[in-house]
Amino acid sequence: MSRAFTKEDHEAPKPRRNWALPPRDDPSYDEAAASALLEGARVSEVLEAEEATGYAWGEPRLRAFVERKLERARAEGDDRLEQVAERFLKQSR
């Protein structure tokens, strides 16, 4: 095999994030999942958040929760959260 296809700088695997989600049958699960997806997007771990929540990015069921997060982000001046929430809402149509 060519050396061009071997990885010489072995990186340690990233530690798995604990998304701290309630059980799926908990009434607060969807809100927590929306928060986890937005946090995942904030730190460039959307795929991991999707895997943890079982929801895809832009899931329409989570729209109301993300809209509330967007309002809060604007009120608090959290530009990054505002950016990812807006992106989520564009996908959820």
- The string of DSSP codes covering 2-69 is -GGGS--S-PPPPPPP---PPPTTSTTHHHHHHHHHHHHHHTT-HHHHHHHHS--TT-GGGHHHHHHH
| pLDDT value at 92 more than 90 | no
Which residue ranges make up each domain of the chain?
26-91
Task: Tell me which residue has tokens 């296809």.
Answer: 5
Q: What is the mean pLDDT of residues 14-23?
A: 81
Give pLDDT, residue 51.
95
- Whether the per-residue pLDDT at 44 is higher than 70: the answer is yes
pLDDT tens per residue, range 52-77: 999 999 999 999 999 999 999 999 99
The answer, yes or no, to whether residue 47 has pLDDT greater than 70, is yes
- pLDDT band, residue 3 (cuts 50/70/90): low
- DSSP class of 81: H
| Predicted local distance difference test score (pLDDT) of residue 14 | 64
Decide if pLDDT at 1 tops 60.
no
Amino acid at 73: A
pLDDT, position 63: 97
